[in-house]
Structure 1
Amino acid sequence: MSHGEGGSILRQPKSVWAVAFACVIAFMGIGLVDPILPAISKDLHANPSQVELLFTSYMLVTGVAMVITGWVSSRIGPKRTLLAGLVLIVVFSALAGSADGVNGIIGFRAGWGLGNALFIATALAVIVGAASGGVGGAIILYEAALGVGIAVGPLLGGLLGGISWRGPFIGVAVLMTIAFVAVITLLPTSPKPTRRSSLADPFKALRHRGLLTTALTALFYNYGFFTLLAWTPFPMGLSAHQLGLVFFGWGLCLAVTSVFVAPRLQVRFGTVKTLYVVQGLIALTLVVMGIGTQSKLTLILAVIIAGLFLGINNTLITQAVMKAAPVERPVASAAYSFVRFIGGAIAPFLAGKLGEQISPNLPFYVGAGCVVIGILVLASGRKVLARVDEPEEPAPTPADAGRLLVAVDAGPAGTAVVRHAAEVAAQRGLAVHLLHVRETEVVGDDAVALEGDVDAEQLLGERLAQLRAAGVTADGEIVVSVGTHPEVARLILDRAVRLAAPAVVIGSSSHPGLHGLLGGSVVAEVSRHAGRPVLVIDPAADRLSPVTG
């Protein structure tokens, strides 16, 4: 069971590379302006709260636009939605770079936010859909684009901002123009979704307590997040180059923990428990920044360290949303983003006002208080969120117990796995329980289903028919995972225990070392914790290797 791990990360169509390049530039959008906030304030004679509106307009429009992205994409198709977003980013970033006053930049950043919403909402799905060299490799490229964009954004902003505050805006316009040409030339037209989304769907989805709870938690957390991001450059008193380096360190820490650390903590301690601890640490960091506002070293270290916690939180709260919401992923994502970006929109302007009129320390204390409120909101929904880490699944019937558990995915290895599993079942006189995990991959603040319902049902039917044709008694089921490979492994292990399976049959990974870094391969996790024999099928060598659990 490789779960999309087949294929090399580098063996991707040019269209995937084109979209990945555009993603890098798009993810620069938030951190890019951090290093130039003081310069804009000085050169355009604007106070900090006015300059902070660059964040407020961007985040507010992005949040509102998230509600309409599904509606737009379902009518004009993912490629056109993606291209529309790219065009808007090019136009409004160029206009922001040519503006003569802060109000113009604020307005043009709003247009940039609309473009970014259209692009980001469809980019991950487009990359997965265009991947022919292995979905796993395409997702790793997206993760890499996310990390590089977040980390390099402030660095590029500081580099170009050291020349002029207009530099970062013009630089984005040029780079996104290149990306637009590459995408429109290389990316084939994708079919329109069969179902058209309604503008009311995201608002209806908020009736579900689990989704509303996680969205409100994210709203208060985002207030603290954007207080740190938008207000800190002013009391730091650093140059554009220096600010770029500080926020490069922040972005690098965020990217690393989002991809490498969050999945391991989720498996070890659970999603919700980890969120309590991490958000508590974020609140504590903001308190330290409030106490040490007059110390540049304190602020620098706190910003970089906060990146470690923010990366973990972003990934895990997205997982919690996708697990808690009993609606389609795009609808859940739109509803969640709409609510959480409200916090990101309010924080910069209010922090600027508090810092100007009362005390530069106060914005950090208020930010910490909001994060604590978010923790309390999360705790208020603990009952409805229990299913995030402990899904309610029916207990197996006595007839199911003692069956050989065979895990299959949608990859080409599935046929070989089932063929060898049939041989093992026949030799041992066992019936087979076939398990197919339909994965939803979470990357940062986004998630994408790697397989549709219909495709999953068809695959399960084909594999069951293969077993029965070999004379093996077999039944099967489909379960849904949200997260990375340890989550898939957890579902397999849980089913093995529930079925009292004498052994587990699973397909080997094509490159377990890489996916081990990204949270652990399915095979490694299952073999380590199964507590029973694990029979690993190597489809390349067409042989079976027993591994003692």
Structure 2
Amino acid sequence: MSGTPQGSVWKQPAQVWAVAFACVVAFMGIGLVDPILPAIADSLQATPVETELLFTSYLLVTGLAMLVTSWISSRIGAKATLLVGLALIVVFALLCALSGSVDAVIGFRAGWGLGNALFISTALATIVGAASGGSGAAIVLYEAALGLGIAIGPLLGGLLGEMSWRAPFFGVVALMAIAFIAVSALLRGPFEKREPVPFSAPFRALGRPALAILAVTALFYNIGFFVLLAFSPFPLGFGAMGIGLTFFGWGVALAITSVWVAPALMRRMPRTAIILVTLPLLAVDLIAAGLLVSDPASLVICIIIGGLLLGVMNTVLTEAVMEATDLPRSVASSSYSAVRFLGGAVAPPAAAGLAHAFGDTVPYLFAAASVLLATLTVLLGRKVLSHIDDPSEGAAEDAEAILVGDAA
């Protein structure tokens, strides 16, 4: 990424911008519901645990679907996979907006997760095939879309959530419909010729020791990530706009370190060393959040600092997956992300349940303990992971590993 010719990054054909715009909207969906969680709980008479299942259904289906998206896209083609994914998001976001019960919203968020998996698993490969300036430029553009979407999602959710908890879902419907039209009209020509991927490939990939270690690390790490993201709106006690602004700051912090700081660190330090420094710092931040949870201003600071650390971890873990095996990058990253999203799926309802039983401090201590388990996993497996610390040049192949690894 560091070698990307910066002058070429923003000079792209219209079809690239169409997919990039759709990427921004897709990634907005991760944090969009954050500011409206308390409002959904109030309006639909749902408990915090039930409300947190909005994340669980979305992330669980996204993760499981990752195991088959490479098989699907290698058969029906990139454009068809993108359009099916976008169409599913439009349909299920609309159904979420029209729902009258929290159970219905939870179910429709699962369908949204399927659409999101199909879309994000194909988007970068499409951008790489169509972008000018080489794969390095495509990666920068994709990461910029990722960061922008993660930052804007909570802000848009807060703005629209001030009107109604349904409004953010209608907003996604409108934006994704525009993205569907843009991709359908502007995306033309072959972008990536792939051999059909065996259905069993992502399952067999987890038998590789290095990839398995990174996947388990990511599972525990993602528990910390999603406790901070999905549980924090409740103890903050803010309205939709206040929560939206808080997590807009979190998303901006994450984007800055993901796109600029992490690559700079990787030019100077081994990847495993960065992981073994950043994860304990994240655990300390989560402990601080738990101890200071009753002070909203302090909790906001902890959330922003957490965003800075999460951005570093997202990029470094993804780069590590790139170098972990000699498997096709799309297969390795799909396997890794499927396990990773399981941590994200478990964390929100577990955090809400712990808070109900023991108070708001305990979910953050639970998250910190999970992050320390991720640290221990890397520490014990460092010998197996030693080869990921050797820089590799294959930028064109690297693009596929970022495909889904940064999506959460």
Q: Closer, same or farther in 2 for the Cα pair 1:234/1:442, shift >3 Å?
A: farther
Residue 339 (structure 1) shift = 0.7
Letter in 1 for 2:109: R
Aligned to 1:208: 208
Aligned to 1:303: 303
C-alpha separation in 2, matches of 1:192 and 1:133: 16
Alignment partner of 1:268: what SS? coil
Letter in 2 for 1:259: V
Give deviations 1:453-510, integer Å, cap 9, x for gaps: xxxxxxxxxxxxxxxxxxxxxxxxxxxxxxxxxxxxxxxxxxxxxxxxxxxxxxxxxx
Task: Give the 5 Å matches for 1:389-538.
Answer: 389-390=389-390, 437-440=393-396, 446-447=402-403
C-alpha separation in 1, matches of 2:9 and 2:399: 16
Aligned to 2:123: 123
Answer yes or no: is the 8 Å Cα contact 2:329–2:398 preserved in 1.
no
Aligned to 1:479: none
Residue 10 (structure 1) shift = 3.2
TM-score (norm 1): 0.71
Answer yes or no: is the 8 Å Cα contact 1:219–1:340 preserved in 2.
yes
Q: Which runs of 5+ in 2 are unaligned?
A: none
Pair 1:109-2:109 in alignment: yes
Runs of 4+ in 1 over 6 A off after TM superposition: none
Answer yes or no: is the 8 Å Cα contact 1:5–1:135 preserved in 2.
no
C-alpha separation in 2, matches of 1:443 and 1:92: 29
Q: Closer, same or farther in 2 for the Cα pair 1:4/1:387, shift >3 Å?
A: same
Alignment partner of 2:326: what SS? coil
C-alpha separation in 2, matches of 1:272 and 1:309: 15
Answer yes or no: is the 8 Å Cα contact 2:319–2:402 preserved in 1.
no
Residue 86 (structure 1) shift = 0.4
Aligned to 1:244: 244
Alignment partner of 1:199: what SS? coil
Answer yes or no: is the 8 Å Cα contact 1:214–1:378 preserved in 2.
yes
Letter in 2 for 1:388: I
C-alpha separation in 2, matches of 1:444 and 1:145: 16
C-alpha separation in 1, matches of 2:215 and 2:332: 10
Aligned to 1:218: 218
Aligned to 2:55: 55
C-alpha separation in 2, matches of 1:58 and 1:130: 29
C-alpha separation in 2, matches of 1:161 and 1:6: 37
C-alpha separation in 1, matches of 2:322 and 2:225: 21
Answer yes or no: is the 8 Å Cα contact 1:271–1:316 preserved in 2.
yes
Aligned to 1:231: 231
Answer yes or no: is the 8 Å Cα contact 1:314–1:445 preserved in 2.
no
Aligned to 1:168: 168
Residue 267 (structure 1) shift = 1.8
The alignment of Structure 1 onto Structure 2 pairs a total of residues equal to 403
Q: Which runs of 5+ in 1 are unaligned?
A: 392-435, 449-549
Q: CA RMSD in A?
A: 1.9
Residue 128 (structure 1) shift = 1.0
Give deviations 1:278-336, integer Å, cap 9, x for gaps: 11111111111111111111111100110000000000011111111221101101110
Aligned to 1:280: 280
Give deviations 1:122-161, integer Å, cap 9, x for gaps: 1011011012465444333222211111111110000000
Answer yes or no: is the 8 Å Cα contact 1:158–1:243 preserved in 2.
yes
Q: Closer, same or farther in 2 for the Cα pair 1:143/1:14, shift >3 Å?
A: same
Alignment partner of 2:382: what SS? coil
Letter in 1 for 2:61: V
Residue 362 (structure 1) shift = 0.9
Residue 4 (structure 1) shift = 5.8
Aligned to 2:180: 180
Letter in 2 for 1:345: A
Letter in 2 for 1:35: P
Residue 358 (structure 1) shift = 2.2
Give deviations 1:55-85, integer Å, cap 9, x for gaps: 0000000000000100100110111111111
Q: Closer, same or farther in 2 for the Cα pair 1:6/1:227, shift >3 Å?
A: closer
C-alpha separation in 2, matches of 1:244 and 1:37: 11
Q: Closer, same or farther in 2 for the Cα pair 1:446/1:44, shift >3 Å?
A: same
Aligned to 2:26: 26
Give deviations 1:13-67, integer Å, cap 9, x for gaps: 1100100110110010111111000000111111100000000000000000000
Letter in 2 for 1:146: L
Aligned to 2:381: 381
C-alpha separation in 2, matches of 1:51 and 1:167: 17
> Which has more radius of gyration?
1
Q: Closer, same or farther in 2 for the Cα pair 1:230/1:165, shift >3 Å?
A: same
Range 261-270 or range 106-115, more displaced: 261-270
Q: Closer, same or farther in 2 for the Cα pair 1:99/1:326, shift >3 Å?
A: same
Residue 105 (structure 1) shift = 0.5
TM-score (norm 2): 0.95
Answer yes or no: is the 8 Å Cα contact 1:27–1:153 preserved in 2.
yes
Residue 438 (structure 1) shift = 3.1
Answer yes or no: is the 8 Å Cα contact 2:330–2:400 preserved in 1.
no
Percent identical among aligned pairs is: 54
Q: Closer, same or farther in 2 for the Cα pair 1:4/1:286, shift >3 Å?
A: closer
Q: Closer, same or farther in 2 for the Cα pair 1:234/1:315, shift >3 Å?
A: same
Answer yes or no: is the 8 Å Cα contact 1:315–1:443 preserved in 2.
no
Answer yes or no: is the 8 Å Cα contact 1:79–1:189 preserved in 2.
no
C-alpha separation in 1, matches of 2:205 and 2:259: 28
Answer yes or no: is the 8 Å Cα contact 1:20–1:141 preserved in 2.
yes
Aligned to 2:291: 291
Alignment partner of 1:58: what SS? helix
Aligned to 2:11: 11
Answer yes or no: is the 8 Å Cα contact 2:278–2:313 preserved in 1.
yes
- Return the structure number with greater helix share: 2
Give deviations 1:248-270, integer Å, cap 9, x for gaps: 00000000000100011112121
Answer yes or no: is the 8 Å Cα contact 1:7–1:136 preserved in 2.
no
C-alpha separation in 2, matches of 1:6 and 1:361: 45
Letter in 1 for 2:274: T
Answer yes or no: is the 8 Å Cα contact 1:54–1:105 preserved in 2.
yes
Answer yes or no: is the 8 Å Cα contact 2:214–2:317 preserved in 1.
yes
